[in-house]
């Protein structure tokens, strides 16, 4: 394919790339009923509570009904008092036999009642902090009197002798029919804000549903509801708050989740089809003037996976529309070589490329790799980071503007406005999840017709990738370069780990000791890394050459420390996770990760990817005192598996997509009910149905699709800039 030269914007595609979803001018159908009424006017709310509700994003009655529970609790009556319940939750219907209050300490008081459940007696206890100003037991004294019938919800210590004593959280009088919302059933549990209780919200929700839920309109086309056997929306909304059974709850949840996922998939598919209709106005010719000498001087044969992925990328670049491709590959799978091949294809064709990395160290490392791999090739390459002196920076910018540079490597400093490229056509973003959504779209804005390759070492299953980055094409490096030794991982004590460090050093090897530092700015964490450096060099590791590296160091100093370690001038590198990505020292065979419970799963996997870079057997020691189940699960996963795909999936399960992707990105997904991990089968259905709908009606203009289209516009129209790239 011939290359046609084109300056930026010549094709008027700037606007087109904004990719506004243009589904044409259907009229918006506003509900005319009570759904749009302000919540303030619901009985029991008023202006003060309305302000609290607005903190929860609830302004109208419709919003309230769409404020779905974050969880549900099964509060069916506990029938058998002799059996300890698994959760400790106890729900009893009983008659009060005896009641009274006691002072239990200077500030704490108890109210105790003996209850008869019909099958036995139990002691119920309410705990209250004493108040000087009022009687904290006033209402209990009135309600919990001998002879009264009530429900109590509370906790009991599991005991082989059965339940003897309950700590009461809530109680309801049988004579007040409202108990039916709170006990003897599956009960909704909402995310709250101070000043609003579960009890109040449940009662308010019930009233709102009673008055308004029938007004819910079905935005889904009839055929789909029939085909997927979906509940009617009013029924689903009612049941998600107050389900009659577990099965009804499931049906309601999946109806609402399906709707969300269908909308999401419609948005992605529309977006993707739109991008594909843009013509970038040039193609690439595989000339091999650079690619062939590059391959020759690599010193190794590309893996089958690398070859396949390079082909996928090349064929994208040769398409008439801009590439948006995600390259997933485990730590060490050889993404850099793939990225370089793509960049060289661009350069062969007279274009410029950028290679953007999330940290200074990684940018430097890439620059070194590139210099090594491109030795003697006529590719003019420069590095740019935010730490450059004004003069150095200016020189680079001038060369860039004049077209005297082919390749620019750097950090987000590349994104600054005065960094201008006359012929930028390919952008590569390494460790894309480390960047914000905005930074990625800024890169694309530098050139309206940019081909974009984003890379990640935290691979996730393909179906999930499609849900999360639905308009991207996905390539996967599923093969490791030959001769890679996988590092073994062990859960260890500090003593044993440090012993291993000393042994390795005695054999001429090197080691990393990593401390968590959650925020680069966290002084406390930093101090502890420094203090530990001092402690270790003076005690256990005395006599070894120990160096320190952390994120707050001037970048020059970091580079020096790294270079010295790489050259074998130090034995042990005490580090914060600045070394997480990219560092490549083959002689380092031991890594000790201190307080490993404080790192995320993906981070730990990335960190340990820093060893096992050579041919020597390597070992990673996780030193931790995991206090939560999650932390334990993370460590167990790492010890058991070295497969990045499994770890990515596990990470997603443990943390949920929100944290994994960063809340900004996930927040944009606007999923309230659906969970892209657990609802993977629904997601597949939604994707197929969305394809079907758009194949039959590409702009959703038919009468049956009107409501769907309106909802889609409402949800996603203004989000296109990030959808563009994420
Ligand atoms: P990552 O995917 O983690 O970015 P890198 O691109 O840093 O991985 O590659 C890891 C190491 O493997 C580098 O030292 C690289 O030179 C080497 N490498 C890459 N591809 C191959 C290959 N096909 N055969 C042997 N070594 C390779
Ligand atoms: Mg890499």
pLDDT digits (tens, 9 = 90+) for 431-446: 776 666 567 678 877 8
Q: What is the pLDDT of residue 25?
A: 38
Alpha-carbon 34 to chain mean position: 36
What is the distance in A from the centroid of ligand 2 to the CA of 357?
Answer: 9
CB atoms within 10 A of CB 96: 19
Residue whose tokens read 């101070």: 194
What is the distance in A from the centroid of ligand 1 to the CA of 333?
Answer: 6
**CA-nearest residue, atom 19 of ligand 1:** 334
What is the distance in A from the centroid of ligand 2 to the CA of 366?
Answer: 8
Between β-strands 473-477 and 324-329, what pairing exists: parallel, antiparallel or unpaired? Answer: parallel
Higher pLDDT, 189 or 25: 189
> Are residue 310 and residue 443 in the same domain, yes or no?
yes
Q: 30 is written with which tokens?
A: 């506003």
> Are residue 440 and residue 299 in the same domain, yes or no?
yes
Last residue of a domain, one of 184, 209, 235: 184
> Are residue 450 and residue 493 in the same domain, yes or no?
no
Range with the poorest average pLDDT among 16-20, 420-424, 477-481, 565-569: 16-20
Predicted confidence (pLDDT) per residue in 562-608, tens digit: 889 999 999 999 998 777 655 678 899 999 999 898 888 878 888 88
Q: What is the pLDDT of residue 668?
A: 55
Q: Could you please report the per-residue DSSP string of 65-104?
A: HT---SEEEE------TTSPPSS-EEEEEEEEEEEEEEE-
> Are residue 493 and residue 446 in the same domain, yes or no?
no
Tell me how far apart the alpha carbons of residues 243 and 377 are, in angstroms, rounded to a whole number: 68
In a domain, 539, yes or no: yes
Residue 415 has pLDDT above 80, yes or no: yes
Q: What is the pLDDT of residue 519?
A: 52
CB atoms within 10 A of CB 373: 18
CB atoms within 10 A of CB 512: 25
Return the CATH number at 548: 3.40.50.300
What is the distance in A from the centroid of ligand 2 to the CA of 329?
Answer: 9
Q: What is the pLDDT of residue 240?
A: 97
In a domain, 646, yes or no: no
Q: What is the pLDDT of residue 246?
A: 95
Residue 336, ligand 1, Cβ within 6 A: yes
What is the distance in A from the centroid of ligand 2 to the CA of 84?
Answer: 52
CB atoms within 10 A of CB 202: 20
> Are residue 439 and residue 563 in the same domain, yes or no?
no
In a domain, 600, yes or no: yes
Residue 531 makes CB contacts below 8 A (sequence gap 6+) with none
Predicted confidence (pLDDT) per residue in 284-322, tens digit: 999 999 999 999 999 899 999 999 999 999 999 999 998
Tell me how far apart the alpha carbons of residues 600 and 577 are, in angstroms, rounded to a whole number: 12
Single out the residue of 273, 716, 683, 256 nearest to residue 468, CA to CA. Answer: 683
> Are residue 407 and residue 502 in the same domain, yes or no?
no
Q: Could you please report the per-residue DSSP string of 431-485?
A: SGGGS-HHHHHHHHHHSTT-EEEEEESS---HHHHHHHTTTSEEEEE-SPPTTPP
Tell me how far apart the alpha carbons of residues 315 and 334 are, in angstroms, rounded to a whole number: 20
What is the distance in A from the centroid of ligand 2 to the CA of 581?
Answer: 7
In a domain, 380, yes or no: yes
In a domain, 430, yes or no: yes
Q: Please report which confidence band the pLDDT of residue 103 belongs to, taking 50, 70 and 90 as the band edges.
A: confident
Residue 332, ligand 1, Cβ within 6 A: yes
Which segments of 117-264 are extended strands (E)? 121-129, 149-155, 165-173, 186-189
Q: What is the pLDDT of residue 7?
A: 34
Q: How many helices (H) does the chain have, and how many strands (E)?
A: 26, 20
Where helices occur in 213-326 by DSSP H, the ranges are 222-227, 233-241, 246-276, 291-298, 304-317
Q: What is the pLDDT of residue 651?
A: 79
In a domain, 677, yes or no: no
> Are residue 297 and residue 446 in the same domain, yes or no?
yes
> Are residue 310 and residue 410 in the same domain, yes or no?
yes
State the first-to-last Cα distance of the chain, in angstroms, to the nearest integer. 29
Residue 341, ligand 1, Cβ within 6 A: no
Please give the order of strands across the beta sheet that includes 572-575.
Answer: 488-492, 619-623, 588-593, 510-514, 572-575, 546-549
Backbone angles phi, psi at 293, to 5 degrees: -60, -35
Largest CA distance in the chain: 95
Q: What is the pLDDT of residue 551?
A: 76
Q: 580 is written with which tokens?
A: 């997480």
Last residue of a domain, one of 621, 641, 661: 641
Residue 615, ligand 1, Cβ within 6 A: no
What is the distance in A from the centroid of ligand 1 to the CA of 481?
Answer: 7
Closest listed ligand to the CA of 338:
1
What is the distance in A from the centroid of ligand 2 to the CA of 365?
Answer: 9
- Taking residues 698-709, report their average pLDDT: 90
DSSP state of 598: G
Q: Could you please report the per-residue DSSP string of 542-586?
A: TTS-EEEE-TTS-HHHHHHHHHHHHTTS-SEEEE-GGGSSS---T
> Are residue 349 and residue 439 in the same domain, yes or no?
yes
Residue 309, ligand 1, Cβ within 6 A: no
Dihedral angle sign, alpha carbons of residues 12, 280, 687, 470: negative
- Taking residues 117-136, report their average pLDDT: 86
Closest listed ligand to the CA of 339:
1
In a domain, 495, yes or no: yes
H-helix or E-strand spanning residue 356: strand 352-356
Higher pLDDT, 354 or 607: 354
Residue 480, ligand 1, Cβ within 6 A: no
3-class secondary-structure state, position 699: coil
Range with the poorest average pLDDT among 103-112, 405-414, 558-567, 657-666: 657-666
Please give the order of strands across the beta sheet that includes 381-384.
Answer: 381-384, 407-410, 352-356, 424-429, 451-456, 324-329, 473-477
DSSP state of 237: H
pTM: 0.72
Residue 430 CA: nearest ligand 1 atom is 4
What is the distance in A from the centroid of ligand 1 to the CA of 482?
Answer: 10
Instruction: Answer for the pair 63, 57: CB distance below 8 angstroms, yes or no.
Output: yes
- Taking residues 59-83, report their average pLDDT: 89
**CA-nearest residue, atom 23 of ligand 1:** 302
- Residue in 481, 580, 583 to alter for ligand 1 test, most ligand atoms within 8 A of Cβ: 481
Residue whose tokens read 């860039």: 400
- Residue in 308, 337, 343, 484 to alter for ligand 1 test, most ligand atoms within 8 A of Cβ: 337
Q: What is the pLDDT of residue 32?
A: 55
DSSP state of 369: H
Residue 385 has pLDDT above 70, yes or no: yes
Residue 457, ligand 1, Cβ within 6 A: yes
Range with the poorest average pLDDT among 90-99, 166-175, 210-219, 264-273: 264-273
> Are residue 400 and residue 509 in the same domain, yes or no?
no
**CA-nearest residue, atom 9 of ligand 1:** 334
Predicted confidence (pLDDT) per residue in 2-12, tens digit: 333 333 332 22
What is the distance in A from the centroid of ligand 1 to the CA of 336?
Answer: 7
Predicted confidence (pLDDT) per residue in 77-94, tens digit: 888 777 656 678 899 999
Range with the poorest average pLDDT among 378-387, 455-464, 707-716: 455-464
In a domain, 628, yes or no: yes
Residue 302, ligand 1, Cβ within 6 A: yes
**CA-nearest residue, atom 1 of ligand 1:** 332
Domain limits at 405?
Answer: 291-319+334-456
Domain count of the fold of the chain: 3
Return the CATH number at 139: 2.40.50.140
Residue 261 makes CB contacts below 8 A (sequence gap 6+) with 467, 671, 674, 676, 679, 682, 683, 685, 686, 687
Residue 473, ligand 1, Cβ within 6 A: no
What is the distance in A from the centroid of ligand 1 to the CA of 148?
Answer: 75
> Are residue 308 and residue 435 in the same domain, yes or no?
yes
Between the alpha carbon of residue 4 and those of residues 7, 342, 354, 540, the distances in Å are 10, 18, 21, 65
Last residue of a domain, one of 184, 205, 227: 184
Helix axes 629-640, 601-608, angle to 10 degrees: 30
Residue 483 CA: nearest ligand 1 atom is 25
Closest listed ligand to the CA of 370:
1
What is the distance in A from the centroid of ligand 2 to the CA of 209?
Answer: 53
> Are residue 313 and residue 414 in the same domain, yes or no?
yes
- Residue in 333, 334, 456 to alter for ligand 1 test, most ligand atoms within 8 A of Cβ: 334
Instruction: Answer for the pair 94, 116: CB distance below 8 angstroms, yes or no.
Output: yes
Closest listed ligand to the CA of 606:
1
Q: What is the pLDDT of residue 438?
A: 65
């Amino acid at each position: 394919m011939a290359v046609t030269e084109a300056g930026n914007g010549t094709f008027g595609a700037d606007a087109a790339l904004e990719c506004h979803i243009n589904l044409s001018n259907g009229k918006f159908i506003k509900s005319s009923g009570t759904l749009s009424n302000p919540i303030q006017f619901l009985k029991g709310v008023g202006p003060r509570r309305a302000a609290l509700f607005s903190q929860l994003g609830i302004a109208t009655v419709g919003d309230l009904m769409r404020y779905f529970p974050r969880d549900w609790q099964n509060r069916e009556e506990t029938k058998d008092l002799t059996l300890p319940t698994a959760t400790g939750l106890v729900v009893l219907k009983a008659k009060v036999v005896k009641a009274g209050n006691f002072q239990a300490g200077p500030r704490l008081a108890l109210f105790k009642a003996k209850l008869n459940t019909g099958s036995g007696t139990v002691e119920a206890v309410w705990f209250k902090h004493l108040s000087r100003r009022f009687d904290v037991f006033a209402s209990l004294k009135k309600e919990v009197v001998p002879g009264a019938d009530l429900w109590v919800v509370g906790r009991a210590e599991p005991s082989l002798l059965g339940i003897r004593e309950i700590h009461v959280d809530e109680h309801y009088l049988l004579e007040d029919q409202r108990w039916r919302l709170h006990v003897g059933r599956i009960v909704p549990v909402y995310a709250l804000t101070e000043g609003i209780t579960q009890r109040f919200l449940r009662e308010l929700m019930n009233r709102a549903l009673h008055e308004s839920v029938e007004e819910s309109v079905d935005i889904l086309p009839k055929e789909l509801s029939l085909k997927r056997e979906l509940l009617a929306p009013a029924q689903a909304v009612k049941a998600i708050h107050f389900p009659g059974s577990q099965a009804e709850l499931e049906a309601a949840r999946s109806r609402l989740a399906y709707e969300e996922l269908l909308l999401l998939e419609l948005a992605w598919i529309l977006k993707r089809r739109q991008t594909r209709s843009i013509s970038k106005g040039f193609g690439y010719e595989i000339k091999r003037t650079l690619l062939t000498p590059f391959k020759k001087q690599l010193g190794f044969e590309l893996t089958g996976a690398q070859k396949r992925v390079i082909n996928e990328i090349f064929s994208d670049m040769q398409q008439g529309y801009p590439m948006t491709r995600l390259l997933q590959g485990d730590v060490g799978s050889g993404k850099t070589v793939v990225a370089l091949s793509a960049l060289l294809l661009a350069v062969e064709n007279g274009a410029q490329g950028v290679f953007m990395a999330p940290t200074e160290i990684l940018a430097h490392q890439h620059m070194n790799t590139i210099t090594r791999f491109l030795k003697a090739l006529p590719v003019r390459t420069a590095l740019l980071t935010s730490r450059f002196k004004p003069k150095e920076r200016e020189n680079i910018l001038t060369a860039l503007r004049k077209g005297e540079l082919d390749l620019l490597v750097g950090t987000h400093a590349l994104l600054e406005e005065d960094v201008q490229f006359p012929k930028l056509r390919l952008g590569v973003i390494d460790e894309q999840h480390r960047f914000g959504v905005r930074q990625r779209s800024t890169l694309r804005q530098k050139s309206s017709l940019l081909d974009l390759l984003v890379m990640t070492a935290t691979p996730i299953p393909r179906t999930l990738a499609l849900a999360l980055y639905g308009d991207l094409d996905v390539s996967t490096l599923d093969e490791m370069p030959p001769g890679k030794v996988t590092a073994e991982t062990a859960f260890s004590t500090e003593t044993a780990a440090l012993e291993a460090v000393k042994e390795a050093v005695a054999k001429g090897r090197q080691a990393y000791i990593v401390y968590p530092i959650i925020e680069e700015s966290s002084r406390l964490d930093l101090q502890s890394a420094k203090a530990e450096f001092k402690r270790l060099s003076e005690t256990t590791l005395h006599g070894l050459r120990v160096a320190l590296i952390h994120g707050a160091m001037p970048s020059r100093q970091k580079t020096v420390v790294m270079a010295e370690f790489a050259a074998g001038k130090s034995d042990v590198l005490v580090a914060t996770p600045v070394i997480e990505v990219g560092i490549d020292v083959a002689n380092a065979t031991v890594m000790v990760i201190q307080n490993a419970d404080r790192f995320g799963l993906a981070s730990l996997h990335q960190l340990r990817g820093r060893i096992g870079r050579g041919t020597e057997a390597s070992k990673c020691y996780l030193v931790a005192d995991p206090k939560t189940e999650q932390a334990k699960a993370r460590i167990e996963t790492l010890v058991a598996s070295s497969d990045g795909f499994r770890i990515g999936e596990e990470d997603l399960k443990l943390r949920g997509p929100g944290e994994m992707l960063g809340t900004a990105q996930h927040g944009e997904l606007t999923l309230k009910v659906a969970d892209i991990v657990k609802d993977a089968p629904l997601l597949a259905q939604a994707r197929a149905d969305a394809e079907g709908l758009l194949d039959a009606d590409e702009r959703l203009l038919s009468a049956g699709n009107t409501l769907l289209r309106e909802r889609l516009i409402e949800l996603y129209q203004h989000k296109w800039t990030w959808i563009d790239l994420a």
